[in-house]
Amino acid sequence: MSAEPTINPAADLTRARAALVGNPRLAPDKRPVPDAAALRRALGDLFELWLAGAAGRAGLTDGGGFALVAVGGLARGEMLPFSDLDLVLLHDGDQPDRVQKIADQLWYPIWDASIGLDHSVRTVPEALRVAQEDLSAALGLLDARHIVGDEDLSDLLIGEIRRQWRKEAPRRLPQLIEHAEVRWSRAGEVAHRSEPDVKNGRGGLRDVQLLNALALAHLTDGLRLAGDDAPGGGLGIAYRRLLDVRTELHRVAGRGREQLRAQDADEIAAAMHLGDRFALSRLISDEARTISYAVDVGLRTARGAVPRRGLSVRGLLPVRRPLDEGVVEHAGEVVLARDALPSQDAGLVLRVAAAAARNGLPISSSTLHRLADYSPEIRGTWPGTVRDSLLDLLAAGKAMLGPVEALDRMGLWGRLFPEWDFVRDLPPRDAIHAWTVDRHLLEAVAHAAPLTTQVSRPDLLLLSALLHDIGKGRGGDHSEVGARMARVIGQRLGLWPGDVDIVADVVTHHLLLAQTIARRDVDDPATAERVASAIGGNPVLLEILGALAQADALATGPGVWSDWKQTLTTRLVGNTAKMIAGQEVVEPEPLSAAEIARFSGDEVVVEIAPTDQLHRFEVTMSAPDSPGLLARMAGVLAFSDLRVLRATVRSVGERAINTFTVAPFYGDPPEAGLLRQRLVGVRSGSVDLEARLASMRVSTTPAASRDGVPAQAVPAPPVVRWVDDSVATMEVRATDRPGLLSTVASVVERNGGSIRWASATTLGGTVVDTFALTWESTLDDRRRRLVLEQVRGACASA
């Protein structure tokens, strides 16, 4: 292509491009076509030569006060088969009579060739002014490259645009982030999507260009953010592979197509020498995750590089705020405490991820690398504390997606769940699914989290949501294959045998309700009998299947779940539940005579003993029984930074002896003597319990907004109900929060109720508290409703 081409007419340009592209619809001879990278180079050469000829005919000469500058794909050397031309005609302002004539001679042949054109005519000052006012224009001009004409004029523009950007980028960073977030909300994610927008989606090509813009402003390291040793081969390689996909997408699908559709995937995969559309989907998802991770790191780096007002301006170091055992917040990121030892703490990985999800914070890159390098595999059965951290993470809902993605990119999630390798980046086999299988499972967990208060076993709901499609990608019925895998995973997690059975049964029957409402009359007694028979009359299994049916549908894609489906599912579950006998509440075992004697020596007795689980302790508190005592005890534990995982409340004569299983939020628990002193102070009124709890809640509440990124964890709505037709037993299901048990007990006792015994259990991020109550006087319907409303309101605001 060194000789001057004779392609002056627009028709010649069209034929030349068609011959290069090789699309049968444009070039019927079906000659061999170049690969994606060679095609881009050839198209770039074609357009540059054509523009050089057109410019010469229009009178653009070196040093003549006019220059043609390319931006966009031509400037970056990324011309695709149906890319638009983005051109700027620069002039020095001294020859106004020639400007329009030259512009017409350049633009009209391009339009006649049916090539998209984004054009402008500017002086250098005008271009700088537009870049100041329009962020999109500024970002585009950062890629500007001289094509033909007065090169000094082009160099002046390019140099001034970049100097202006370096000066203004720190101030414009919030606008730049908002600009990206609007694009992401419109185009969605590239990774995990069954039909991704590889250009505009999160993790797509535009995001690498965003990082390069930040690098030009010295706010990040650009393409060095994820070097060649990073997962997926580095950011530069990921960008080039997605660019190849977009090139073949243009060649196959034609103009204006940026979303990769399922019907084009096999042809694109063949052009890229991949096995099939499933291999293509895995490649796209993997490279997009590399880019998405780099964007997360890059934006955090950029925020950190921008000077802030306040303490940091005066040179003070950021405060390290404890989040969990061995986990702290530092400079807006989750990092390891100085004394944390990943090599000796198998549960640290999940505690880091759970802390990040609860607080709406990212995990620092250095922490992820340290965990990946030194964290041991968990051999054999998981300790209960590690399983609890997993449930805490899953209970965070949407907020857990980022931390899990970060773990997966570093190989840590696969180390916890080796079975994940079969579903990672696995595309769905039907168009109704919007996500890859691995992301669908996590989306199902995210949608199940707000439903945890609707079931008596929220922990099993979350685990079932995580595993319900784990059998896909292995052949055979994925429900049956997945049930066998779920049984193995459940045993590895250390679940009780009965709980393993429930999770496996949920995976086996996770499509039962959806298939039933689609094929049968939900009000027919035979339908309820059929469902009850299929699940063996297990009411817990029925509850979980009902909640999972909703979470699974919401995680599938838009429009799959509807009000009508919810109505049918609710009626089917309700009708089936009527056929299944309920279970009675089991009272706690009585204390032995020795225990009663040990806790009756002084007016107030407090003992702390370690349990057989790491970071778990048993606190027993004893004092003369009185209204509000349980609330005071639970409150003392809360403001002493102890999370109540289980509570058993007993009364022996005139004395209360209450036992709590607790986990310190950080470090070791306080001494028993300090807890006793605090309980004595609260009982006497010298310690203001409400003030201490209020102060503690403020200090542990995640920031509503941090650098423009909202904390995403959304609590499940509390459910409060009488267990049976009497008012003897009340069940409370709510998202766990500091002082929640104390708050609920206060409401009950304030309304004239006495707690005969109570069992409080934390399952994942949800508490299920059962209170056996007595009342000073009989409650009528109005007071029954009032008590429920007050407890529900207290749980929502605690």
Domain annotation covers residue 586: no
* Alpha-carbon Rg for the chain in angstroms: 32
The upper half-sphere exposure of residue 721, i.e. CA atoms within 13 Å in the direction of its Cβ, equals: 10
Same domain for 601 and 514:
no
Answer whether residue 389 shows pLDDT above 70. Answer: yes
Same domain for 40 and 120:
yes
- Residue ranges with strand state E in 52-194: 66-71, 85-91, 117-122, 145-149
Q: How confident is the model over 565-582, as pLDDT tens digits? A: 888 899 899 889 888 754
Q: How confident is the model over 159-183, as pLDDT tens digits? A: 999 999 999 999 999 999 999 999 9
Q: CA-to-CA distance for 418 and 521, rounded, in angstroms?
A: 41
**Matching residue, tokens 């410019």:** 55
User: What dihedral angle (degrees, nearest 10) is formed by the CA atoms of 409, 413, 414, 415?
Assistant: 120
Same domain for 379 and 290:
no
Domain annotation covers residue 769: yes
Same domain for 555 and 444:
yes
Higher pLDDT, 349 or 519: 349
Same domain for 103 and 153:
yes
CATH number at residue 560: 1.10.3210
Domain annotation covers residue 324: no
Same domain for 518 and 438:
yes
Same domain for 775 and 717:
yes
Domain annotation covers residue 315: no
What six digits make up the tokens of 786? 């009032």
CA dist list (Å): 210 to 18, 133, 146, 206, 795: 31, 18, 21, 6, 43
Q: How confident is the model over 210-265, as pLDDT tens digits? A: 999 999 988 886 554 333 344 334 788 889 999 999 998 888 877 667 788 878 88
Q: How confident is the model over 39-51, as pLDDT tens digits? A: 888 888 888 888 8
Same domain for 246 and 148:
no
CB 696 within 8 A of CB 739: yes
Helix, strand, coil % over all residues of the chain, rounded to 5: 55, 15, 30
Same domain for 467 and 391:
no
Same domain for 480 and 393:
no
Domain annotation covers residue 739: yes
CA dist list (Å): 39 to 97, 268, 271: 39, 15, 12
In DSSP terms, 729 is beta-bridged to 772
Q: CA-to-CA distance for 90 and 271, rounded, in angstroms?
A: 39
Domain annotation covers residue 130: yes
**Matching residue, tokens 């002014």:** 129
Q: Which ranges constitute the DSSP H helices of 317-451?
A: 348-359, 365-374, 384-395, 401-409, 412-416, 437-448
Residue that finishes a domain, picked among 350, 382, 416: 416
Task: Classify residue 756 as exposed, middle or buried by CB count within 10 Å of its CB (0-12, 13-18, 19+).
Answer: middle
Answer whether residue 77 shows pLDDT above 70. Answer: yes
Domain annotation covers residue 175: no
Same domain for 294 and 384:
no
Q: CA-to-CA distance for 276 and 664, rounded, in angstroms?
A: 51
Print the domain residue range for 668: 597-703+711-797
Domain annotation covers residue 180: no
The upper half-sphere exposure of residue 556, i.e. CA atoms within 13 Å in the direction of its Cβ, equals: 19
Same domain for 357 and 282:
no
Shortest CA distance to 647 belongs to which of 759, 567, 493, 723? 759
Q: CA-to-CA distance for 796 and 784, rounded, in angstroms?
A: 19
* pTM over cut 0.75: no
In DSSP terms, 66 is beta-bridged to 91
Shortest CA distance to 461 belongs to which of 560, 381, 543, 396? 543
CATH number at residue 202: 1.20.120.330
Specify the number of domains making up the chain: 5
